[in-house]
């Protein structure tokens, strides 16, 4: 028979009792600039009452953010080791469950365990998969929303005598749900930096001590040839060099082994970055395809002239120019709605494509889509506030009170704006849902060519081939 375990039974947290943790702050090298901050945090965890009895609030949640491999996990262990508290380790994906409510249930188990082991630190690696705000656009993923809500509810419910602190690690700081970083939740953020030259030398020394190296190895030189390396990369460098030396039946790793190891590691890092680069290009291409198609199929939209995924300044992609505020007066309701639709077209395309091809990876939806949402919101707001558009009694009811800042008025505007955005979102979704083939086709071409003119877009949609050279592989 099938050995079917209910998902509940599979929740596993790694629990380390305080006495078994021998990691100390000194084991984490190259983070001098944040050590004082960490020491203060440790003081607080060790003796919270010293703070609370004087009216100071102790942190319930701390976010460590920084590139992969800089030592966030190591640091969290060191904090537990120094504070003499127990340590519970888990990763965000532990809670990623397609069954509604399972994630939330695991969160309850986790905090229950933490209460039993208090005082303790709960460490959640890759916490962005739980706290990320892109989740909010993925309505299907209400189970994740309930996971997040459960974490926040547990944290809100801590009382100070419970002595539990949640430390989350993430690579992306920007993408977190505002509700998660409010005071009393993850309100302390610490950036764990990549090591500078001195830091790299300290880390290298730590790992070089453990292996056989020839006398000509200079830490200074190794440090200088590894800018951008994380602690994990440096550890990897030492391990690779010594392993290569042993493969060659040498007793000690020499400079050549280190040079070669460095080149291999850099190649690996570049490939990773390239991969990420392609991933961003892909997201941008899908989004721009969505906007271009919305533009193409929407009555009243401004003429489409060019779609591009080449990075121009802060934002990637520009299907067309939006009117600035001074042009707004000349816009009809139809045109304004078309603009709003186009703004939301990018996000909708991402939602549709990623749901179809990668349903458990809705995180792939980019934050760039959020910027377009903000733009759409502003357009709708100006429409309602400034020009009285969409007012029940034609254009008079709101425009006469456009300087009105009363709560009632603001609330009315917000409601109206939300209604406009919801309708637009639905309209665009319904449109693009029927155009997944075209989104894919346009996105591929954008990915290949970087930009497409209006003529080219029309050709592609007619199924004709473009006579230009591909610049890259799909």
> Which residues are known catalytic residues?
288
Q: Which of residues 28-47 bind ligand ADP (CB under 6 A)?
A: 28-31
DSSP at 303: P
User: Closer to ligand ADP at the Cβ: 196 or 327?
Assistant: 196
CB 87 within 8 A of CB 120: yes
**Residue 91 structure tokens:** 């990763």
Smallest distance, Å, CB 125 to ligand ADP? 6
Contacts of 411 (CB under 8 A, 6+ apart): none
User: Closer to ligand ADP at the Cβ: 68 or 268?
Assistant: 68
Q: Is the dihedral of CA 291, 297, 300, 305 positive or negative?
A: positive
CB 446 within 8 A of CB 285: yes
Q: Which of residues 189-208 bind ligand ADP (CB under 6 A)?
A: 203, 206
> How many helices (DSSP H) and strands (DSSP E) are in the chain?
16, 10
72 binds ligand ADP (CB under 6 A): yes
68 binds ligand ADP (CB under 6 A): yes
Ranked by CB distance to ligand ADP, the top (closest) residue is: 231
Smallest distance, Å, CB 18 to ligand ADP? 19
User: Closer to ligand ADP at the Cβ: 61 or 231?
Assistant: 231
User: Closer to ligand ADP at the Cβ: 83 or 284?
Assistant: 83
169 binds ligand ADP (CB under 6 A): yes
80 binds ligand ADP (CB under 6 A): no
DSSP at 146: H
Q: How many residues line the site for ligand ADP (CB under 6 A)? A: 17
For residues 26-64, one letter each, b for 16 or more C-beta atoms within 10 angstroms of the residue's C-beta and e for the rest, the string is eebbbbeebeeebeebbebbeebeeeeeeeeebbbbbbb
Smallest distance, Å, CB 242 to ligand ADP? 15
Rounded Cα distance between 381 and 414, Å, is: 8
What residues does 452 pair with on adjacent strands?
A: 307
Rounded Cα distance between 55 and 95, Å, is: 35
Smallest distance, Å, CB 40 to ligand ADP? 19
Smallest distance, Å, CB 265 to ligand ADP? 13
235 binds ligand ADP (CB under 6 A): yes
User: Closer to ligand ADP at the Cβ: 74 or 342?
Assistant: 74
Using alpha carbons only, what angle is made at residue 300 by residues 299 and 306, rounded to the nearest 5 degrees?
Answer: 95
By three-state DSSP, how is residue 364 classified?
helix
Smallest distance, Å, CB 204 to ligand ADP? 10
The residue among 165, 174, 152 whose CA lies nearest residue 66 is 174
Stretch that binds ligand ADP, among 113-121, 229-237, 266-274, 465-473 (CB under 6 A): 229-237
Using alpha carbons only, what angle is made at residue 296 by residues 294 and 302, rounded to the nearest 5 degrees?
Answer: 95
User: 103-132 mask for ligand ADP (x: CB under 6 A)?
Assistant: ------------------------------
- The values of phi and psi at residue 358, to 5°, are -150, 60
Smallest distance, Å, CB 257 to ligand ADP? 20
User: Closer to ligand ADP at the Cβ: 122 or 309?
Assistant: 122
Stretch that binds ligand ADP, among 54-62, 70-78, 310-318, 447-455 (CB under 6 A): 70-78
Rounded Cα distance between 189 and 260, Å, is: 37
Stretch that binds ligand ADP, among 27-35, 108-116, 321-329, 414-422 (CB under 6 A): 27-35
339 binds ligand ADP (CB under 6 A): no
Stretch that binds ligand ADP, among 72-80, 149-157, 314-322, 389-397 (CB under 6 A): 72-80
Ordered DSSP codes for 200-225: HHHHHHHHHTTS-B-TT--HHHHHHT
The residue among 450, 460, 425, 271 whose CA lies nearest residue 350 is 425
Stretch that binds ligand ADP, among 150-158, 227-235, 238-246, 426-434 (CB under 6 A): 227-235
Of positions 69, 81, 223, 317, contacts ligand ADP by CB under 6 A:
69
- Residues near ligand ADP (CB under 6 A) are 28-31, 68-74, 169, 203, 206, 231-232, 235
């Amino acid at each position: 028979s099938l050995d079917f375990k209910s998902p509940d039974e599979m929740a596993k947290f790694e629990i380390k009792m305080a006495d078994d943790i021998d990691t100390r702050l000194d084991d984490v090298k190259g983070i001098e600039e944040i050590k004082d901050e960490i020491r203060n945090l440790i003081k607080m965890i060790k003796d919270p009452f010293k703070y609370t009895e004087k009216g100071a609030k102790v942190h319930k949640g701390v976010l460590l953010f920084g590139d992969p491999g800089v030592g966030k996990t190591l640091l969290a262990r060191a904090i537990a080791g120094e504070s003499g508290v127990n340590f519970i380790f888990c990763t965000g994906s532990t809670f990623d469950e397609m069954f509604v409510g399972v994630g939330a249930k695991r969160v309850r188990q986790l905090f229950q365990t933490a209460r039993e082991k208090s005082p303790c630190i709960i460490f959640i690696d890759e916490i962005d998969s739980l706290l990320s705000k892109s989740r909010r656009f993925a309505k299907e993923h209400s189970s994740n929303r309930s996971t997040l809500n459960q974490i926040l509810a547990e944290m809100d419910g801590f009382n100070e005598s419970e002595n539990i602190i949640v430390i989350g690690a993430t690579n992306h700081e920007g993408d977190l749900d505002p509700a998660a970083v409010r005071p009393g939740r993850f309100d302390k953020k610490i950036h764990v930096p990549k090591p500078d030259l001195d830091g790299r030398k300290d880390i290298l020394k730590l790992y070089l001590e453990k292996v056989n190296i020839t006398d000509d190895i200079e830490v200074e030189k190794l440090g200088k040839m590894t800018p951008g390396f994380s602690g994990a990369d440096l550890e990897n460098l030492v391990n690779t060099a010594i392993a290569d030396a042993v493969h060659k039946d040498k007793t000690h790793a020499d400079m050549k082994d280190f040079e070669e190891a460095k080149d291999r590691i850099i190649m690996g890092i570049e490939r990773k970055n390239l991969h990420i680069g392609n991933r961003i290009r892909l997201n941008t291409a899908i989004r721009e395809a969505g906007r271009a198609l919305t533009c193409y199929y929407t009555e009243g939209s401004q003429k489409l002239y060019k779609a591009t995924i080449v990075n121009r300044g802060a934002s990637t992609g520009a299907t067309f120019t939006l009117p600035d505020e001074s042009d707004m007066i000349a816009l009809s309701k139809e045109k304004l709605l078309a603009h709003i639709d186009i703004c939301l077209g990018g996000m909708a395309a991402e939602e549709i494509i990623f749901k179809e091809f990668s349903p458990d990876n809705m995180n792939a939806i980019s934050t760039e889509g959020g910027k377009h949402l903000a733009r759409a919101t502003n357009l709708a707001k100006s429409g309602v506030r400034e020009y009285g558009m969409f007012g029940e009694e034609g254009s008079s009811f709101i425009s006469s009170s456009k300087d009105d800042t009363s709560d009632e008025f603001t609330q009315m505007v917000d409601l109206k704006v939300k209604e406009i955005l919801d309708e637009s979102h639905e309209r665009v979704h319904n449109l693009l849902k029927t155009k997944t083939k075209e989104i894919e086709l346009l996105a591929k071409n954008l990915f290949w060519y970087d930009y497409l003119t209006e003529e080219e877009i029309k050709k592609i949609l007619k199924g004709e081939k473009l006579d230009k050279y591909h610049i890259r592989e799909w």
